[in-house]
Structure 1
């Protein structure tokens, strides 16, 4: 029997649910849950092992998931109240997973995907401290078989506030995760806007939480990158879309300075045709491009973007609506060489305690195509 293994982070709850610390990062109490989708036509036998941050096993459980179906784990099974750690899921069938994180429910909510492998270098394109009320915290999980010696290097973006030369170090046991909280790192400066690189002698993965605790209260989450590409696809870019706008955080993970070009696709919401933009990014550095000022003005735009450069890039897209009640999400840009003609979504919802989902598709080929969405069995009724 061949087992496929991937990891889920649980930073101060990150992958794991209603049973988390009563006090979490930045004064917020977090809880989480995760969904596992069976991608095969056979029943999947899965095992889930939960790890404390010191590397000890907090609990384990086994389960089955029907063919082409999914299961939700909320609250987290078999761990004690106050659990703060990570999880590893093994299966005899191909599976996918996502994590949902809630904070001071219903104020904060976000989601990210599970990992199938790690890398010795992980890029984090957007890291913040006191940026208009936003700060980040992230977890790094060791996916290797030996203790991981980890160094985090922070770099302020050109023209943005923050101190250079700041680092963090940690030793992380196999399967375990370590939390790095930038709100507590005064060495970054009173305000920091930039990026970070995680270097390790064992393969690791990382998950970043962007938390607004001031006038804008929102949680935006993204996965760390284990490699860049000279072209990155961003399926959803917005300006003035019922109050929503986007921002791209672009990290240059190459060895030379580069100029990144942002090529905006056709506007599906009106006649406005945005001008492509360019931005200079030093080696190892990052830049932020927002769609809420300048040419965007009051123009409504819903489309996509292609970001390209002579050096490998990693891109995070933030989507934000600012108001009496703020909303925000984030996603990772896609390497076009990894794109496929079939995509799985472990969790889709409608009328689920007020929650619903939407799917944005981008065609990166030179020809028109027809997209079909096949919904899995309804686990709610």
Structure 2
């Protein structure tokens, strides 16, 4: 979970895989081969207008100069910068990275827009606060031609001087690195890796990666299918400040809903020397534990846990989980997938949270009541899963929905929940301007943009949240959807 942006800096590692921003959208043979253009959704979490400065860097090793420009953002407002449409970036193409600074606190979520008629999902990942960079970052899951998926990721210098980076890949069940690379990064720049092209990983690879650096770095990953299922998701690398012996997962599912959604957790051992014992505890509608799973993980390695494999989990289960470790802290990536025969392209990813906050921000929120289809609307729906990770009751939880100009459109007040328990919100459940909440984030004339804040009432309360952005994948089958998750960002 990202911390408050106290120094008003967001570092965003971009995967802009298109070399031509105006290229026509076309069918792709797989999600892995699809090009993406980045849109940065950013939110002013203060009560004053902000001047936001964007600095875009070419990839590491390029001789091109950074590009810098400003945007204004009203108090409480959320806006999007489409990299492919910004006039200042007309000469920017290929892969790159960005640093966003502001004279007011801001948060940001990166949206990757597929340049494909067959890949409909939009991978989501959060920007990094100025305190989130670390000299030790872990990527809890890295795949190469495994489960028909391959991972691409970036490593960005988040420090004020050049850094030297050592990247190691660990195969599941092995304590010795399969492959190691060492390289340098200039300030703000990123280097990009495609597991599918790293010959040292062999024909296939299922494991994780560790990143050690002489200064602060951050990392973002995209996982995409290599077959015709067209699934793609994104998640952040996890730095030292987020390592924890207790990790909270607001989403735990087993054959849930019409698309039969399931969760799986990739748990990585942060220690390079000690094994860890991990226990996953599942909760139902209350805070009581209904099932558990346990395993031992080797140093630097990972272990996967599938919710439906836990004894005692009911069908159509929609709950939450708490993952604990002894021997060393852990990091966790949550994934959600659906029954392929119903929703073949459904795949999401989010980062498990080691701690919570009293107030959270969700920069990217949309809702459509009447146009959740592929043709003609292709509009989206946001579902917010909120979990109490404190030691006492949360008190009432208030979700406020703001339009792109920072105006309050509606408020959803939820009853208090107990420790470990979860609850849910979406714009259609809020009270306020009902017509605008019914098509939240979609304004007359075609303008888009909407965000939310989530706050618990009791003194010292701690919550986390995961926002699922869902899109229709069929004009005729309502159960066939695609979706992607991102974590709500603490703002206090």
TM-score normalised over the length of structure 1: 0.90
Structure 1 residue 99 and structure 2 residue 124: aligned?
no
1:333 aligns with 2:349: no
Q: Residue 156 in 1 paired to residue 171 in 2?
A: yes
What is the aligned partner in structure 1 of residue 362 from structure 2?
345
> How many Å separate the matches in 1 of 2:98 and 2:401?
27
Secondary structure of 1:276's aligned partner? strand
Shift of 1:4: 2.0
- Count of residue pairs the alignment pairs up: 372
Q: Deviations over 1:207-242 (max 9, x none)?
A: 011111214321111100002111000111111013
CA distance in structure 1 between the partners assigned to 2:142 and 2:249 by the alignment: 19
Q: Structure 1 residue 376 and structure 2 residue 382: aligned?
A: no
* Of 298, 320, 327, the match for 1:304: 320
Moved more, 57-66 or 313-322: 57-66
Change (3 A) 1:19 1:179: farther
Confirm whether residue 12 of structure 1 aligns to residue 22 of structure 2: no
Is contact 2:335–2:349 with CA below 8 Å preserved after alignment? yes
**In structure 1, what is the equivalent of residue 448 of structure 2?**
none
CA distance in 2 between counterparts of 1:48 and 1:284 reads 35
Matches of 2:361 and 2:51, distance apart in 1: 19
Residues 31-70 of structure 1 deviation map (CA, whole Å, 9 limit, x = unaligned): 1201110010000111101000136434221011000111
The answer to whether structure 1 residue 263 and structure 2 residue 293 are counterparts is no
Contact persistence 1:13–1:101 (CA under 8 A): no
Give distance in 1, aligned partners of 2:45 and 2:80. 15
**Residue ranges of structure 1 left out of the alignment (5+ in a row):** none
Q: 1:18 to 1:38 in 2, by over 3 A?
A: farther
Output aligned runs, 1:62-141, within 5 Å: 62-76=70-84, 77=86, 78-79=88-89, 80=91, 82-105=93-116, 107=119, 108-117=121-130, 118-141=133-156
Gaps of 5+ in 2: 1-5, 369-376, 406-441, 444-492
Structure 1 partner of 2:412: none
Per-residue CA deviation, residues 157-180 of structure 1 (Å, 9 max, x unaligned), is 128xx9943112322211011101
Q: Take 1:133 and 1:104, find their aligned partners in 2: how far apart are those partners?
A: 21
Q: Is the 1:253–1:312 contact (alpha carbons within 8 Å) kept by the matching residues of 2?
A: yes
CA separation in 2, counterparts of 1:182 and 1:20? Answer: 26
Distance change in 2, residues 1:234/1:205 (3 Å): same
Q: Does 1:188 align with 2:201?
A: yes
CA change 1:378–1:50 in 2 (3 A) is: closer
Confirm or deny that 1:28 pairs with 2:47.
Answer: no
Show the counterpart of 1:282: 298
Instruction: Tell me the residue number matched to 2:54.
Output: 48
Judging changes above 3 Å, is the alpha-carbon distance between structure 1 residues 307 and 293 closer, same or farther for their aligned structure 2 residues?
Answer: closer
Is the CA contact 2:51–2:71 (under 8 Å) kept in the aligned structure 1? Answer: yes
Equivalence for 2:225: 212
Secondary structure of 1:376's match?
A: strand
Moved more, 244-253 or 347-356: 347-356
Measured at CA, do residues 19 and 156 of structure 1 come closer, stay the same or move farther in structure 2, by a change above 3 Å?
farther
Partners of 2:270 and 2:299 within 8 A in 1: yes
